[in-house]
Amino acid sequence: MKLSVIIVNYNVRYFLEQCLHSLYRAIKNTETEVFVVDNCSTDDSLEMLRQSYPEVKLIANSENLGFAKANNLAIEASESDYVLLLNPDTLVQEEAIRNMLSFMDAHPEAGALGVKMIDGRGRFLPESKRGLPTPAVSFYKISGLSAMFPRSRRFGRYHLGWLDKDKIHSVEILAGACMLVRREAIIKAGLLDEDFFMYGEDIDWSYRILKAGYRNYYFPPGRILHYKGESTKKGSLNYVYVFYNAMAIFAKKHFLGKNFFYALLINLAIWLSGAFSFFSGLLRKCLYMIKKIATSTQQASVLVWGSAPEFERVRDLYSTVSTGSLNFIRASDEEQVDETLKDKGIRELVFCTAELEYSSVFDCMEKYAGRGLVFKMAPPIGQVIIGSHTVLKP
């Protein structure tokens, strides 16, 4: 077996189904086994998997075991040369996995590989490539110095901001949202550390793979969309607690030990930063609601990229879930999309992914990132429209 793909799911049924749709395109002609480890979801994820994807190797847990332990269950059950950890709130570009495997085969020194990630607004996710969060690097990140000087080789080490995001680099830390790992590296470095419930386990694993004698690579010819935080909403109090507690666990395990002064300093900085993250998240939500109310009386235009039947499907679906007045425009190719988006009144762009390649979708999202557009997908998985933190269905 060449590849084992492992997806840990928790109450994100529609994101999971959309992810699997993109994944099976990407692993076509590749010998692959797909695992979904469900952490006791209360939605209809299990029913969907059994009906729509009976070939998936399903591990249904009776409780939420966390990300690390759930992945370990599937890793131990897998039989392949490579293991790919993949989040359910991702979409995979068609040629990404083929390119990733080819690179790993050609570079035996590579223990793990990460990809270029964009978010639901088409923006590059800087956590695609990271440096080792030593106490100094962590302090620069938590204090805001890395944000102030992102390209500095001293202050910007957390996200390696001086490295070209479109070129291959040897880096220290990869993101567990899409992380391809060589079987031999897993044997030498060990499984994911189950002390991490969610977040931080990818940092720890990346570091242990380096210590086992391998190199980690950032690989932009592999590209995914990562909606981020669907299982744990970013900005929520629970997210802040889990994320910053994971940072504290990593710092204590690898750097602080019994050094009381450093431990106190880092933990204080972590919790202050966590509090700031929580309250700034609330402020962003308030500003979003104010903006939404202010523009609610204006007629919004929705651009749909797809065939005439798909256009009708999207328009009919919106009519069942939207109370506002919407103007729908269809584009059949990239040239028409570019021409139509010259109209500043376009608020949303919906991609009909039954017909479009994800590579074209991602190219378009990156091209128009920062324009204030809302990007959504109309996947061929039933009556549903999916966007960042959004699932529209009758």
Q: Which amino acid type is present at position 373? A: L
Cα 280–chain centre separation = 21
More confident residue, 118 or 389: 118
In the 8-state DSSP scheme, what is residue 381? Answer: S
Could you tell me the CATH number of the domain that includes residue 219?
3.90.550.10
Same domain, 252 and 326: no
Contact 40, 62 (CB under 8 A): yes
| Cβ neighbours around 327 below 10 Å, total | 12
Same domain, 216 and 310: no
Contact 2, 30 (CB under 8 A): yes
What is the total count of domains within the chain?
3
Question: Tokens 């729908």 map to which residue?
Answer: 328
Same domain, 93 and 176: yes
Mean pLDDT for the stretch of residues 58-67: 96
Q: Give the Cα separation of 124 and 229 in Å (integer).
A: 16
352 domain-assigned: yes
* Structure tokens, 309: 């039947």
150 domain-assigned: no
Same domain, 270 and 357: no
In the 8-state DSSP scheme, what is residue 191? Answer: S
Q: Give the Cα separation of 97 and 222 in Å (integer).
A: 7
Confidence of residue 344 (pLDDT cuts 50, 70, 90): confident
Q: Which of 171, 144, 169, 163 is nearest to 155 (CA)?
A: 144
pLDDT tens string 270-285: 566 666 666 766 776 6
**392 CB-near residues (< 8 Å, 6+ apart):** 317, 318, 321, 322, 376, 384, 385, 386
pLDDT tens string 215-236: 999 999 999 999 986 555 554 5
pLDDT tens string 354-387: 999 999 999 999 999 999 899 999 999 989 999 9
Confidence at residue 278, expressed as pLDDT on a 0 to 100 scale = 65
Same domain, 330 and 347: yes
Mean pLDDT for the stretch of residues 186-214: 92
In the 8-state DSSP scheme, what is residue 88? Answer: T
Same domain, 267 and 307: no
* Structure tokens, 40: 């006791």
